[in-house]
Amino acid sequence: MSRLRTTSGRGTASRVISGIGALFALIEVLYILMIVLGANQANAFFKFVQSLAEPLALFFPGLFATGNYNLDVFLNYGLAAVFWLVVTGLLARAVSRY
């Protein structure tokens, strides 16, 4: 007979927080890929992703200015993606403990 596993509200909240962080990071990575791979910036999907990625990047755009636009996008938006994963990971861990 299998045991039914119950989860607490904290565990669910922790997973939701982690999922949100992963979604934010995914948006940033998608934007990086679209820029680096030369997506058509007049395309509606590109504009949609850009409208999500730019506010989520917070204060990171412009942090690094190497002179290479693609490298700048990779560093700045990549750092924002890592930021979201770390911050939401810490929040999820804190929520699951208390």
pLDDT at 4: 47
Taking only the tens place, the pLDDT of each residue in 38-78 is: 999 999 999 999 999 999 999 999 998 999 999 999 999 99
pLDDT of the residue at 86? 96
Concatenating the DSSP letter of every residue in 24-90 gives HHHHHHHHHHHHHTT--TTSHHHHHHHHHHHHHTTT-TTS---S-HHHHHHHHHHHHHHHHHHHHHH
Q: How confident is the model at residue 30 (pLDDT cuts 50, 70, 90)?
A: very high
On whether the CB atoms of residues 21 and 93 are closer than 8 A, the answer is no
Instruction: Dig out the tokens for 82 from the structure.
Output: 């890592």
Tell me phi and psi for residue 71, to 5 degrees: -65, -40
The one-character DSSP state at 2 is: P
Q: For residue range 10-24, list pLDDT tens digits in order.
A: 778 889 999 999 999
